[in-house]
Structure 1
Amino acid sequence: MSVKIAPSLFGADLGNLESQIKAVEECNVEMLHIDVMDGNFVPNIAFGPDQIKMLRSKTKLPFDVHLMVQEPDRLIPRFADAGADIIMVHQEATTHLHRSLKLIKSFGIKAGVVLTPATPVDTLKYVLDETDMILLMTVNPGYGGQSFIPNSIGKIKDIAEMVKGYDIDIQVDGGINLETAPKVVEAGANVLVAGSFTFKGDIAKNISDLRNCVK
């Protein structure tokens, strides 16, 4: 399975988003990762549906929207309408995960589940049929630029074993760089979210280096 790159807009220069999106688009990345934060589930606030709707006309890249919000079901319709191609919800933020995934899919888009570092992988065992992507947070969610949590490697391996026989992408987010990317790919991940690493300095070189280090 080839490795996909998903630059996180939370790490971009928010004053020059259009040019930053164009820069990663020219590098043929597979998707854009957009973090949505409500200041409740996580301490930070970022990207609402109106902002995503405005960005939708700027690129043809798929929008991978990561909802770091409490009670995601109330917001899923708005983000689907804003142009999300996949919506990811936290297992920890919804009381009825299966219902949330079915709601996302009712809009004709892909559905994903996110686990924070302390959440066990067994919580996903009964929703694999409704899941297109699993995102394992390799830092605690809410802030960019954090260091990778080493014991995440074992968790990635556990998920890779669990999803055998399913068409499910394994995405990782947090502290992804030239040192950690080969380790998570070897463990079984195939989608790399990189924010701080991607947008600091030469974007084209950063993405090229990231691709080369996991070949």
Structure 2
Amino acid sequence: MTKLLCPSMMCADFSNLKEDTQKLDQAGIDIFHMDFMDGRFVPNFGMGLQDFELVRSVTEKPLDVHLMIEEPSKYVEKFADLGADIIYIHPEADQQVTRTLDTIHQKGKKAGIAINPGTSVEMIQELLPLVDYVMVMTVNPGFAGQKYLAYTDPKIEKLVALSKTYEYKVMVDGAISPEKVEQLSKKGVTGFILGTSALFGKTESYEEILMQLRK
């Protein structure tokens, strides 16, 4: 099974964002992952629209947008128009989540849901036929550098099993180390959001790291 390796651009070198994006692109990443936060749904602020536009301007690779914000429905069209390929929303943050997922599809984009550690599969099961990606948060969202929450593993296994019926891809985000990539890909996870645990701030080049992770 092909692994999707997706750098979390919140962890990139912001003093050289253009150059860092080009290096990641050339190293062979699959999807650029971009976090947007409003300080309300999660207690932090993420990237800005200008960062998104810069990354979009220097790569042809797919870009995903992870909207960790209240009322994501207000922003999905904006990000679709800016060139996002995949848009993740949190069902916990949207009053009309099925309508928002429909809007994403109407804009010709892939729709994803991101699920907080405390949200059960049962709470989102009705949405599974409507999405292309399900991203399980394996830390509490909002900050890089946290510890992996092992209690999310049974939820990942359930979602992998259900993906055979509904045909979405299972992604994981939060403290994803090389060991976690190996363990979780064996369980059937397709995509890995990579931050400081596996990709950024290392002595090896991006090419070397990605080659190791693909093994």
2:169 paired residue number = 169
Larger displacement relative to structure 2 (8-17 or 201-210): 201-210
In 2, distance between residues paired with 1:48 and 1:106?
25
Shift of 1:124: 2.4
- Any idea what the Cα deviations from partners look like across 1:88-132, whole Å, max 9, x if unmatched? 001111112111101111111000001000100112221222200
Write out aligned runs for 1:18-97 (5 A): 18-97=18-97
- Asked whether the equivalents of residues 21 and 55 of structure 2 are also in contact (C-alpha less than 8 Å), the reply is no
Write out aligned runs for 1:1-215 (5 A): 1-196=1-196, 197-201=198-202, 202=204, 203-212=206-215
Instruction: Give the ranges of 4+ consecutive aligned residues of structure 1 lying more than 4 Å apart after TM superposition.
Output: none
SS at match of 1:165: helix
What is the TM-score with the length of structure 1 in the denominator? 0.94
In 2, distance between residues paired with 1:114 and 1:187?
19
Shift of 1:140: 0.4
Shift of 1:164: 1.4
SS at match of 2:185: helix
In 2, distance between residues paired with 1:55 and 1:192?
19
Percent of counterpart pairs with the same letter? 34
Shift of 1:210: 1.8
Shift of 1:2: 1.3
- Asked whether the equivalents of residues 28 and 210 of structure 2 are also in contact (C-alpha less than 8 Å), the reply is no
Which amino acid is the alignment partner of residue 214 of structure 2?
Answer: R
Which amino acid is the alignment partner of residue 29 of structure 1?
Answer: I
- Asked whether the equivalents of residues 153 and 187 of structure 1 are also in contact (C-alpha less than 8 Å), the reply is no
- Any idea what the Cα deviations from partners look like across 1:48-69, whole Å, max 9, x if unmatched? 3343123211111100110000
Shift of 1:200: 1.2
In 2, distance between residues paired with 1:121 and 1:67?
20
In 2, distance between residues paired with 1:20 and 1:124?
36
In 2, distance between residues paired with 1:211 and 1:177?
13
- Any idea what the Cα deviations from partners look like across 1:193-212, whole Å, max 9, x if unmatched? 00112111232222222222
SS at match of 1:88: strand
SS at match of 1:125: helix
5+ residue gaps in structure 2?
A: none
Which amino acid is the alignment partner of residue 200 of structure 1?
Answer: G
- Asked whether the equivalents of residues 38 and 69 of structure 2 are also in contact (C-alpha less than 8 Å), the reply is yes
- Asked whether the equivalents of residues 49 and 78 of structure 1 are also in contact (C-alpha less than 8 Å), the reply is no
Which amino acid is the alignment partner of residue 208 of structure 1?
Answer: M
What is the TM-score with the length of structure 2 in the denominator? 0.94
